[in-house]
Amino acid sequence: MARMSSQTVLISGASAGIGAATARLLATGGHQLILLARRPDKLDALAHELSSLTTVHTISADVRDSAAVRAALTKLPAFDTLSVLINNAGLALGLDKAQDASTDDWDVMIDTNIRALTHLTRLVLPGFVARKRGHIVNLGSVAGSYPYPGGNVYGATKAFVERFSLNLRADLHGTGVRVTNIEPGMVETDFSAVRFRGDDARAADVYRGAHPLTADDIAESIRWCIELPERVNINRLELMPTTQSFGPFPISRT
């Protein structure tokens, strides 16, 4: 099967975890990269690492600052050849039940996982449609399909991403623009450390003995989706570690 040739790829949340792993993998395939992340030190280190493999542009900005992202991105000549957006930036904060959760945490998750993702998508879509090619890859989660205690707003944001992805497919019918929602289960990155605000011991307990997916596993899934021939659109791709599956419905008995 003939695979897609070199493309210009924008990755949000690119400085660590799945974003950095995807950048490394795509660089080995000769794809040009635009890396967007908040932490300039990590971003610059990654760009330096990959500069011998491909062309790398960096944008140091909080993805929630749509105006700053727009100003920086539209100044790059590479923006005019952009063909893939990987909406990777996202987070979970806390694991409290809804009645105990922080609404400040809810706001950050909504702003990052929903508002920033939709704004960045809207920014690149006119160019994709005009060029009659492009690919939006959203990082969803199995939390968008399967609820768990404490997942409340995080899971709801990922359910939004899944539905937004499918609705984009409907809006983009006939344009040649592809849309994919990647929906991982447990992946060992700094996700849990962020969720638990740097409590590394608690974060490590999440993955202990579980043989979770790795950031490289998800990067490989993304690479496969974007390099398939343009006639192929992967709508949704759900993946879990073999050790993770489904439990029975809980019943509270009186």
**Cα–Cα dist 100/103, whole Å:** 9
- At residue 173 the predicted structure's pLDDT band, cuts being 50, 70 and 90, is very high
Cα distances (Å, whole numbers) of residue 137 to 148, 206, 211, 247, 251:
25, 27, 26, 29, 37
- Quickly count: other Cβ atoms within 10 Å of residue 234's Cβ: 17
- Quickly count: other Cβ atoms within 10 Å of residue 149's Cβ: 10
Which strand (E) or helix (H) includes residue 178?
Answer: strand 177-184
Burial of 197 (0-12, 13-18, 19+ CB in 10 A): exposed
Q: Is residue 218 part of a domain?
A: yes
Domain range for residue 208? 88-239
**Cα–Cα dist 136/121, whole Å:** 7
pTM of the model: 0.96
- Please check the confidence at residue 108 and state whether its pLDDT lies above 70: yes
Q: Is residue 27 part of a domain?
A: no
Q: What token pair was written down for 155? A: 């899971």
Q: Is residue 248 part of a domain?
A: no
Q: Is residue 36 part of a domain?
A: no
Chain mean pLDDT for the chain: 97
DSSP three-state, residue 191: helix
- Over range 99-123, report the average pLDDT: 98
Q: Which long-range contacts (CB under 8 A, 24 or more apart) does 47-53 make?
A: 49/24, 50/23, 50/24, 53/27, 53/28
Q: How many domains does the chain have?
A: 1
Give the pLDDT score at 1.
Answer: 54
- Over range 26-47, report the average pLDDT: 97
**Cα–Cα dist 145/56, whole Å:** 35
Residues comprising the chain, all counted: 254
CB 44 within 8 A of CB 61: no
Q: Which residues are catalytic?
A: 154
Q: CATH number, domain at 218?
A: 3.40.50.720
- Please check the confidence at residue 144 and state whether its pLDDT lies above 60: yes
Give the pLDDT score at 18.
Answer: 98
- At residue 4 the predicted structure's pLDDT band, cuts being 50, 70 and 90, is low
